[in-house]
Structures are given as C-alpha cells and as structure tokens.
Amino acid sequence: MSDYAQRLEALAAAAADRCTGCGHCFEACPTAREIGLAADEAGARIGELVALTRGETPAAPLRQWLDACDGSARCTAACPEDINVRQWVTIAKMKALEATRAREVGAANAAGRFRHMAQAVRLLASMQLPSETLKKILAPAERRTADVLFYTGCNVLRTPHIVLNVMDILDALELDFDVVGGTAHCCGVYQFQEADMPTYERMGHRTFQRFGQSGASKVLTWCPTCTKNFDELEESVEPAAFDMGHVSEFLAANLDALRARFRPDQPRRRVVIHEHLGIGATLESIRALLSAVPKLELVELAQDSGFSYACGGQAAKFRGREQAIHRALAEGAVAAGADTIVTMYHSCHRALAGAEAVHPGLTVVNFTDVLAEALGRGGHPDYYRLYKKGGAMDEAVAAARRFLSDNGVRIDETSVKSLTADIFDETGLAGGREAFAQAFTAMAKTG
C-alpha cells in the first residue's frame, strides 16, 4: 500500500472512530431510498460501514448503498458529529471494490471510461474553440506563472463558451490569471471510482501537485467533481501551499468590484436557477451574483436540489429521477412566468440546453453568460445549445468546420455517431437528434 493510500485509510479510520452509529446519514441519503433501502436499516448499514473501514469483508447491503451513492452530501449535512460522511463513503467504496474485485478489472474499466470521455472532449472542444485558445488551456500547469490559476477540469470543454465567459470575467477584474485544464490535467475521478489507485496517484494526485508547482497562490476550480475530489481527497491528504475554491465563491467574494463594473442597460429577465447543493457555497454564491445584476429578477421555485451535487455523473444511474427533475424545473419555470433557466455547472447546462425545443419561450444560459453580459463582455456562441435544440445547424456546422481546420482535426462518420449518442443520450431536455446527426454526417463526408 502506498503512502498516499495509507493516508486515505487514516481519514476513514478517524471517521469510524468518531461515528456514534446514530444513522442520521443513512436516513438522509436520497439514493438509499431510491434503491429501496429502508431508513430503519440505518443502524445495520452504519455498523457495516464501520466494519468495512476496520478491515472486514463488505456486506452485500452495504455494497448496494455504496454503489448507489451519487455524492449528494446530504449524509454529511445530517451528521451531528460533523464527520465528512461523503468523504468516508467515497473511501469506503474504493475499499469495497478492492476487497471484491481484481485491480486489473477496475483499471480496465477506468481506462475505457477515460478514453471515451477524452475523445468526446477533444472533438467537441476542437469543434468550438480556436487553436490558440485550446493550446493555452492545455499547456502544462507547472509552466504557468500567474498568481491566480483558473482550473477548468476536462468536461467543461464540451461547452467551452463557459470557459471563455470566466476568462472574460476575470479579465474584467484585471487579475493576473492563467487558465489550465483538459484531460492532461484530469482530477482522476474515474480511476478513483474504479479503485485503480496507482493510476489515480499518477493522474489526480499528480494534477494537484502540479498546481503547487505553478507557484499560484489561488486555484479557482470550475468542475464540481474536480472541486469535490480535490477538496475531500487531496487537500485532506496533503494540504497545499495554495488556496483552492470554486470560481463562483471567488466571484461572490469580489462582488463589490463586479457590481461597480456591471452596466445598467441589461435586458429584463425573470430567472430560475437550476439548483444543486453539495459543493460548498456555490449555490449561495451564484444567488448573490445574479441578485446584483441590473434588471434581473430571481424567481423562487421548489426543486429537488439535494438529490445530487450535479447532473449526470453518478446521478445518471437514476435516469428516471433526473428526467423528473429536469421536467419539473422547466414546467415550473414556465408556470412561474420565468423566461430564463440559469445553470450552475456544465453537465447541468448540457442536460438543459435543449429546453427551448420543448418550451419555446424558455432560454437556458449559464450563470457566467449572465455575468459576462452584464460586464459588457461575453457573447460567445453556445454551439452546444444549437446542437441540443435541433433545427437548422448551418451556424454550428460552419463554426465546426472552421475550428476543426484550425485545430488540425478531422471528424469522420463514426465520430459523428459517437458524438450524437454522447449529446442526446444524456438525461435532459432536447430537440430531435436527427438534425445534428444529419448535418454533421454530411460535413464529415465532405471533409
């Protein structure tokens, strides 16, 4: 066992030692109920969790619970002992896999998941970003010299206008910053989830160390999964010399400076935020930021915001629940007279970007779109939203053809088929997939 793995074991052992067995974490868990584990089983499940942590073979009902975890953090919020139960469960899930499955199986699973993600990110980023910008993002973190490092993670590059918005906002604040991300700086989530610890250490742990080597005093995260992993694994195991936090929290801390730069001539909007709890003060920060935008009215809407910390990912195991959340959000927004849904994260944006195809009076934007516009910046086309809405693809195809050429990337019919599945098989709201598939297949055939 590596030194890193031993420190993770120590974190879990400390949690087990502090646990009183009250079971409030299990009672609060939304996915335990989703898979039919009754709340009155709490004592037994927590006893099994403690036993696993102390080296016993994981019991079958415990494995069911661990496998169902979607990272909502409702367990942590419910713990009267202030134990980070989500962190404990994350480590316990890894231990359960190590105890019941050969590492080679997990390593192969993780490699396959990473390879598929990397291919989709590479193609979608190359279809939407100029070469100069993409090269800037992908350059090694340890070679940077700015005081502030904006870390994008991997998957936001499927919707890269969000990255461009954040860069515009940080520019407006006149900060010394640089941007870094892409699969070469992955947080290693697939490797950790599949209990491939040697590869995780070479990937996720190494990425965290590279931030420190950049000399930046502050690292701003975007991806909620990266934020969760680095906060609950890396910073707990190896405290960093830099400060790390989600970009929304940083912007909220600089709200006075932003407010002074907001232009008063903003469009009138009635806005519903697609809410998620579980990642620090992200929702609270986004509320504060949007509330400061001139002529923007926040519309309160009851939501299932505690089910998962973001759309997709681990929550995608519960497709029906996610679909119900997305439908209720859009229908509730329309009923409340809202004209705009604002997304918090990129995976949520992908899920909801096509809502206009179902509800024509509803626009979906990311919170960074609103802030950048209020600053007189932004305006970057959201090509992913064009994909999801369906209809005419002329603008999206013309942009993709230009950017692909600039990046030296060719797209074939097999790639289009894979991208179509990636884009339209996710839960969420969208128009028909045929418009995207036909238009981009035709582009692939003509080169």
Per-residue pLDDT of the chain (447 residues; tens, 9 = 90+): 788 889 999 999 999 999 999 999 999 999 999 999 999 999 999 999 999 999 999 999 999 999 999 999 999 999 999 999 999 999 999 999 999 999 999 999 999 999 999 999 999 999 999 999 999 999 999 999 999 999 999 999 999 999 999 999 999 999 999 999 999 999 999 999 999 999 999 999 999 999 999 999 999 999 999 999 999 999 888 888 899 999 999 999 999 999 999 999 999 999 999 999 999 999 999 999 999 999 999 999 999 999 999 999 999 999 999 999 999 999 999 999 999 999 999 999 999 999 999 999 999 999 999 999 999 998 999 999 999 999 999 999 999 999 999 999 999 999 999 999 999 999 999 999 999 999 999 999 987
Same domain, residue pair 32 and 161: no
How confident is the model at residue 237, as a pLDDT? 86
Same domain, residue pair 141 and 94: no
Calpha distance 134→181 (Å, rounded): 9
Same domain, residue pair 109 and 226: yes
Q: How many domains does the chain have?
A: 2
Report yes or no on 372 lying in a domain: no
Tokens of residue 318, six digits: 């519960």
| Residue 337 near residue 412, CB atoms below 8 Å | no
Calpha distance 165→170 (Å, rounded): 9
Q: Rounded to 5 degrees, what angle do the CA atoms 228, 259, 289 make?
A: 30
Tokens of residue 441, six digits: 């297949």
Which residue from 284, 231, 286, 283 is spatially nearest to 76, judged by alpha carbons? 231
Q: 3-class DSSP state for residue 268?
A: coil
Same domain, residue pair 92 and 205: no
Neighbouring residues of 290: CB distance < 8 A, sequence distance ≥ 6: 271, 273, 296, 298, 342, 367, 370
Same domain, residue pair 185 and 94: no
Instruction: List beta partners, residue 219.
Output: 149, 244
Domain-terminating residue out of 100, 120, 138: 100
Backbone region of residue 182 per phi and psi (left: phi > 0; alpha: psi in -120 to 50; beta: other values): left
Neighbouring residues of 19: CB distance < 8 A, sequence distance ≥ 6: 46, 49, 50, 81, 83
Domain-terminating residue out of 100, 133, 166: 100
Report yes or no on 225 lying in a domain: yes
Same domain, residue pair 78 and 165: no
Tokens of residue 232, six digits: 């609950």
Same domain, residue pair 71 and 91: yes
Which residue from 288, 143, 263, 125 is spatially nearest to 211, judged by alpha carbons? 143
Same domain, residue pair 123 and 227: yes
Report yes or no on 63 lying in a domain: yes
In terms of residue numbers, what domain contains 34?
Answer: 3-100
How confident is the model at residue 2, as a pLDDT? 86
Instruction: List beta partners, residue 150.
Output: 179, 220
Same domain, residue pair 78 and 126: no
Same domain, residue pair 109 and 244: yes
Report yes or no on 16 lying in a domain: yes
Calpha distance 400→396 (Å, rounded): 6
| Residue 380 CA to its chain's centroid (Å) | 20
Report yes or no on 227 lying in a domain: yes
Alpha-carbon dihedral angle through residues 432, 438, 440, 442, given to the nearest 10 degrees:
-170
Report yes or no on 221 lying in a domain: yes
- Give the position of tokens 């400060």: 243
Same domain, residue pair 107 and 245: yes
Which residue from 261, 252, 257, 256 is spatially nearest to 281, judged by alpha carbons? 252
Report yes or no on 172 lying in a domain: yes
Q: What are phi and psi of 296, to 5 degrees?
A: -105, 125
Report pTM.
Answer: 0.96
Calpha distance 152→339 (Å, rounded): 29
Tokens of residue 47, six digits: 């006893």
CA torsion through residues 296, 297, 303, 305, sign: positive
Same domain, residue pair 129 and 244: yes
> How far is the CA of 299 from the CAs of 56, 140, 199, 284, in angstroms?
50, 42, 45, 15
Burial class (CB in 10 A: 0-12, 13-18, 19+), 272: buried
| Residue 254 near residue 177, CB atoms below 8 Å | no
CA torsion through residues 67, 189, 351, 343, sign: positive
Report yes or no on 55 lying in a domain: yes
| Residue 86 near residue 75, CB atoms below 8 Å | yes
Domain-terminating residue out of 55, 77, 100: 100
